[in-house]
Every structure is written in structure tokens, then in C-alpha cells.
Chain A
């Protein structure tokens, strides 16, 4: 047997078979009924709290599933404050007359640089408008360590953060592999679901929020005492500090880029702050974050690219009401209801 024969029989043929098998699996995962079935049974946050990666995977799966639907839509995107803060059913009621539906595309810890990376799932042909709600930590200058392997697009990433080292080249390439193969990208979620199935614990997602809507209401008043801050090197704290202190960051550039993409796609982009309770300013991560500074920078970006900017002023009253928030970032059930109604009341004039 010649070297060429060995190469063809033992290297090339198995490689083609492997790629073919992956191709079949990828097609199956993108097949509507399978896709929706997995989406319906995606694990609840309460069941996977110690595996953030699985949470990130299942949220992106949901976003991609929604992207496949053909109904004209208005989408809300942001971090977990959006996941838990906007009820798409309430907002949809205000959009029915226009033949639109509201969808919540919130993803835990989403930084603004991720918007262009996920543009394919957000700016679909049937997306009429995108509401991006940010927090004072949304404009980090670094990739999100728990999400970067999942929420990734190599070309957009290269545009935002050109390679600086060979090590980065390797990590970009490895993420590109995950980007290519959904079977590898979502394997944490598949494993979790398989384990739940085998142990008889697989269940339909009981609610789309991270937290149980039946949980006791938040306390009416929170202490206003400075907590000892975490180290400045902590990536969460860093994201608050960088959003405020740096004039431009990876995420500010990401927002500007997404704005361009939305404009090219003829999709209306509306950018505004997500209500953050006043008591959050005493939080050990958020100390030093400045809402006016972040708002000013975002407004400037929105102006430059023709997006609509929503000022914070109408939210001020809400931000003082501790009872609406279950923690420094997330609305409780009542807060979500109030905020969703507030959006419903104004959305008509914004579209």
C-alpha cells in the first residue's frame, strides 16, 4: 500500500466521515421541532446555579430558537436585569395592533461588545426594533470569562479586538471551532439535560425568569451602608470601573459597531438604561460606578449612529423604591410588572 493510499484510507476517509457525522448532527439540531423541543426543556436556573456556562449556553440556545421564528418582532436585549426585568407577554399586548410580538433576548452578564457578536441572532429579517437596556457594568473592556466561549463570532471579535498575541490567536481559533459546531458549543447544556433525563428530573422550563416568580417579595428598605469593596482586579468590579472611568472600551466600541449593523439592517435601535436601585451604589462590586457618566457616553454613541437614546430621568423614582428589586441588579416580580407596563405605555411612540 502506498503512502498516498494510506493517507486516503486512514486519514482522509475517517476525517470526511467525522465531518459528515457532525454535519448530520448540526442539521438535526437546527431542525425546527428538535430545536424547539430542546428549548422547551432547557434547564431552569435554579437547577444549574453552580454551572454558569450551562446557563449561558441555554440562554443563547433560546435566543437562537427565537431568531428562527418568522413572526415580526421587537426584541429586548441586555444582561440578566433584562432577563428578569421585562415581561414580553405584557409588552406584546401593546404591540398586537401593529402585528408585532415582543421577545426577551436577555442573557446573563451580557456586555455590549457581545451585541455585534450575536448580531445574526438579533438582527434577523423579521426584527423591526431592538431595545438595548444597559447597566453601569455593561461596558467592560474585557471579554466575559464565563460567556466568551459561547457568545462568540470570530470576525466581529477580530474587528473589535485585534489580536495582540499568539495566545489570543489560539483562543480565537478554539472559540471559532465552538462557533462552527453547535454540538460542541452547547454540549454542557446537552449533558445537563441528559443527566436530568436519566435521573427523571428533566422538566419543562417552569418560567422564563431566573428566579421563581412566587418567591417572597423583596424587603421594603435596604441598608445604605458601604460594603467593603472587592479587589479592583475582580472582573465584575473591573467592568463597573472601566464602564465609568475609561472613555472608550471594548464594549463601547461594540455598541457603536452594533449600531452600524442595525442601521445597515434597517432595524430601529433604541438604547436606554435599565433601572438600577439606589442601594446598589453601596454594593461591593458597584461602588464608584457613575450612572450619569455611563449615560453620557452611551448617549453620545447613540447620537452618532442615529439610534434613539432613552434618558434615565423617568426611571429615577423607580430606582429609589427598594421593594421593586430582589437584589442590586434584578427586579422582583412586582418591579418587572411595573417596568414592563412602563415600556408598554411608551413603546408605541418609539417605534
Chain B
């Protein structure tokens, strides 16, 4: 069930009034049931995986916490990691691994595929709830958090429908303490939640869904005949994926606020970043902080010399790329970003002053260009197309002119970018700021109503959220 669908509107029209007036002790089971219905709507069988994962991790964390023997604690951790990662690998990566091995063996002379390629349907949101479960058990193991007392609280943490399918990746210590104290429909939180939902719908339905078909066409044509067309493909996809994913997050956070709960910020104006490192502090923040805390730092982080830091960095980015999808172009996209971060680390001590002299605008433009090149790798159907497009982008003298550039669409990005910049100036990093809260009630009502109707009328052909596939 996707947020921008009629089915979801009907779901929320029933769930919201039914749940917000219940006392907390009934509301939590009610929210869990609603979340399970939301999840099972896609495929009821997947619910078994979600519930199984929840129950096993809840009990494992408790058992782990009771152990004083370090080996027993480690064993529980290993069992949990094996189960969660095993689930993820078996659903998401089995076919990819088998195909990759078959390719290698065929290069070595095998005449027919050696391993059978079995690709089961990927349960929605598995990459997200597996990471949430892992972080919880690891935190209990590290004694950074206490095991959750009630199974219902833990089940809600894992299954809460706004973040279940595509994040943000929530941490137990941030979410669970709020469950029992949350009060649905608090005036300011409700208004700011509605503001987020309207923003999110605008980004997804009006911007991303209208740009999507144009991006598809450009990538089908290998970026078009000119360097400018290839750049426009990269830029348009950058806009599409940002509006798609951050739109989803806004709606998710807005819905959570209606129930009095907060989900962490996932995006902080990433296209105004002044370096790739800065970009990853602002893009899909819940994933990048997860990778930092549970992968990069345990691998040694930046504490053990340049070589180990670089190795940890590349391994983290390799797995970060792979998390996005079982395909080599995602891995290469991850490594590309890893290489840029590593290059930044290596070059900044020597060329930092020159970089600083460029000024914020040029730094942001340069960073955005590098990010767009990365998006080509991410979006292109294969690496042959991606490399051809990137070559075209980087050799404008060989592919001059503006043939193939969707000029009207590109021109429409100018007011969008201006609006985005104005929004950044207004909201900045203040997560609680709400424009809607400060205006009279009549204006609130008119703004929300007219905006929602306009969004539906201006929306493109509804497509799934890009991050649902991960």
C-alpha cells in the first residue's frame, strides 16, 4: 500500500480516527494491528517473516542481556545477526550471488550455468526492518540500550507503518521511549505533521511522478545525443530520486506526528552540500549514520592509520551500495562515493585552502555535479550505458549542442530550485519549524485543502516509490 494511493487514503481514513482516541494501552496494540494490516496488504505471507523476526529478536535481546558470560552474549549476537542477515541475503542476494558465480565460472570455461538462479519476491521493507532489528540487538549487546520491556513496544518499533516500507531507519533508543508518552493529535505536532504530508505529496506526486517518464526516456536513449542531454538526464534523476525519497520520508514523518510520534530526519537539503562527505551527512541520514555506527566504526573507522581507514571506508561503501540493490551498478555507485570521500580525505590537507577559496556556491555546484554522475551509475540499466553517458557528460566538446535536452522541463526546474532554496532558508535545520502553525486558521484550512486538490490534479501517473525496491 503506497502513501499516494486511494487504498491508503481509505486505510488512514479508518485507522486514524479509530486509533487516536483510544487510551495508550489499547492504542499500541491497535497501531500494531493496523501496521500489520498495512504490511500484509502487499503479501500476507511476508507478515510471517516480519512477526517472526520481531519475536525472535525481542527474546534474543532479553536472553543476551541476562547473560554475564561474554561468550554467551556474543553467541546471542551472532545468532541474531545470522538470522537477520540470512533473511536479507536469502531474499535479496541469492540470485545475484548465483548469477555472479555463474558468470565467473562461464568465463573460466563452464558451458552451462552451474548454480540455479532462484529469485524469490523481495518482502517489502526487508532492508529497513532488518537493519532496525540489527541495530537494536547490537545496542543491547554493547549495553547502549536496555532490552525493551514489552513485546508490544518492540513490535511497534519494528512495524510502525509510516517507516516500515522505506524508512527512515529508526533506532530503538530514539523511538521506544516515546511510545508510552506519545499523545496523538497534539495541536502543533498535528499541524506540522500535515504540513510535512502536504510537502511530501507535492514532492512525490507532482515533481517526481511527472519527471519520472522523462527520465525513463532519457535513460532509454542512453542519455540522448548531446553532452547537455546526458547532464539533463543526471540532473532530472537527481531531482526525481530526491523528491521521491524525501517525499516519502516527509509523509512518513508527518503521519507519525499525527500519532504523537517522531521519526528521525532523513534529508537535510542534500543538494546544497559543499562536499561529498557533507552530502552523506544530509542524504538518507538514517542509513549513513547506521553504516557509520554499525559498520565503519567497528571496522576501525579513522583510528588506525590511513590504510585501514581507507579499507574500512571502501568496505562500508561497498556494502552500502549493495544494500541498495543486488546489482553490480549499485556496488559501483557505492564505491564511487567511497572513492570520492577517500579522495576528499586525502586531498583536503594539501588542497583544502584552494577548495575553500572556491566559495559555497561553486563548492555546492561541483558537489552536485559529482552526485549527478553518481546517479547515472545508480539509474542506468547497466554499466555499459552508464559509462557511455558519463563519457558523454565529461566530453562536451565531442558532443556539443543541446540536442535531446527536454528544455521546457529543465526550465521548470528553475522555479522549483528557487522554491527549494527559499524553503531551505526558512526551515534551515529546525526540524520543528512549521509555517502553517503560524498562520490564522482560515489560511491553514485553505492552504491544506487547495494544495491537496492541486497536488492530485497536477500529479503524474502514480508510480511506486523508488526506494520500495530496496
Contact = CB atoms under 8 A, between A and B. Distances in A.
Contacts of A165: 43
B6 A6 contact: no
Contact of B445 (A17, A176, A178): A17
Interface residues on B, range: 35 or more
Nearest to B184: A3
Given A14-B445, A166-B44, A22 B17 contact: no
Contacts of A287: none
Secondary structure call for the A interface: helix
A18 B186 contact: no
Given A18-B449, A173-B7, A167 B42 contact: yes
B457 A3 contact: no
B414 interface: no
Nearest to B460: A191
Interface in A19-36: 20-22, 25
Q: Give the top 7 A-B pairs by smallest Cβ distance, nearest first.
A: A177-B6, A17-B449, A173-B7, A6-B185, A14-B448, A21-B453, A170-B7
B21 A3 contact: yes
Contacts of B459: 184, 187
Interface string B1-43: 1000111011001001100110000000000000000001111
A38 to B, nearest CB: 14
Interface string B178-209: 00000111110011001000000000000000
Secondary structure call for the B interface: helix
Given A11-B190, A184-B457, 16 more contacts: A3-B20, A3-B185, A6-B187, A10-B191, A10-B444, A11-B16, A13-B445, A17-B449, A18-B452, A167-B41, A167-B42, A170-B5, A170-B41, A187-B458, A187-B459, A190-B457
Contacts, number: 96
17 contacts: A3-B184, A3-B185, A4-B21, A6-B186, A6-B187, A7-B185, A10-B191, A14-B194, A14-B449, A21-B450, A22-B453, A25-B453, A166-B40, A167-B43, A173-B7, A174-B6, A190-B457
Among B9, B444, B449: residue with most chain A CB under 10 A: B449
A1 to B, nearest CB: 5
Contacts of B41: 166-167, 169-170
Contacts of A188: 461
Interface of A: 1, 3-4, 6-7, 9-11, 13-15, 17-18, 20-22, 25, 53, 165-167, 169-170, 173-174, 176-178, 181, 183-184, 187-188, 190-191, 199
A10 B453 contact: no
Contact of A187 (B6, B191, B457): B457
B351 interface: no
Nearest to A20: B449
B441 interface: yes
A7 B458 CA distance: 28
B194 A174 contact: no
Contacts of A10: 185, 187, 190-191, 194, 444
Interface of B: 1, 5-7, 9-10, 13, 16-17, 20-21, 40-44, 183-187, 190-191, 194, 258, 408, 441, 444-446, 448-450, 452-453, 456-462
A336 to B, nearest CB: 32
A27 to B, nearest CB: 14
Nearest to A5: B187
B185 A174 contact: no
Contacts of A6: 185-187, 190
B3 to A, nearest CB: 12
B449 A173 contact: no
Nearest to B453: A21
Among B1, B7, B9: residue with most chain A CB under 10 A: B7
Nearest to B21: A3
Given A9-B441, A10-B194, A1 B187 contact: yes
Nearest to A53: B461
B7 A174 contact: yes
A10 B194 CA distance: 8
A18 B201 CA distance: 14
B453 to A, nearest CB: 5
Contacts of B191: 10
Nearest to B37: A166
A53 B184 CA distance: 41
A168 to B, nearest CB: 11
Nearest to B459: A187
Contacts of B44: 166
Nearest to A4: B21
A21 B447 CA distance: 12
A349 to B, nearest CB: 46
A183 B445 contact: no
B43 A166 contact: yes
A152 to B, nearest CB: 12
